[in-house]
Copies of this chain bind each other. A is one copy, B any other.
Amino acid sequence: MTQAARPARGRGPGRRPGPTETRETILAVARDLFAEKGYDGASLRAIARAAGVDPALVHHFFGNKEGVFIEAMRFPVDPAVVLPRVLASPRDRLGETMIRTFLEVWGDPDRRAPILAMLRSAMTNERAAALMREFITSALFGRIGQATGVPLLNAQAAAGQMIGLMILRYVLQVEPIASATEDELVTLMAPTLQIYLG
């Protein structure tokens, strides 16, 4: 919105998107590429190409590929959105609320992409794995556990159920789970999540 008439750093003249906008564009395409190929499969050069910018500009903004990744992965599921909703749930419906909330987030490709990016990347890249560990232990499931008094081991079992579902439904796209409706999955999984969280 508020863009410098002329980009400040090391950019040529002309009517181009401002730095903020360009930065966001790079992050958006990086999320898609990391989601599709994982950390190791997405090169800084490919990110720059997909964003329509020079690789030097990506370097300029983020230092290196790891820098892009860390920024792109920030808040793949915003705990500030998910957490209050899950925690507002009656205790005996925690399982249902969790699966419904996740399915809703995943149902939106734009919100699903950074989660898939983190998941795919974490399988082979230690930096991504560390981010995902933190997400599980601290940012989201750990906080659900803390706030509800559910043991961490139980909260992680629930996290594992969600991770496995995401892989079967969106990565492997195994049928029939890939095409199951949200209601079918809630019916299927809410009771087991409730056992962990109840």
A residues with a Cβ closer than 8 A to B are: 37-38, 40-41, 119-120, 122-124, 129, 132-133, 136-137, 152-154, 156-157, 159-165, 167-168, 171-177, 180, 184, 188-189, 191-192, 195-196
> A-side binding surface: helix, strand, loop or mixed?
helix
Q: How many whole Å from A107's CB to the nearest CB in chain B? A: 17
Complex: how many Å from CA A195 to CA B189? 9
Q: How many whole Å from A133's CB to the nearest CB in chain B? A: 5
Q: How many whole Å from A127's CB to the nearest CB in chain B? A: 12
Pair B122/A172 contact, Cβ less than 8 Å: yes
Pair A177/B153 contact, Cβ less than 8 Å: yes
A132 contact set on B, CB distance < 8 A: 172
Pair B124/A168 contact, Cβ less than 8 Å: no
Pair A174/B192 contact, Cβ less than 8 Å: no
A168 contact set on B, CB distance < 8 A: 136, 156, 159-160, 163
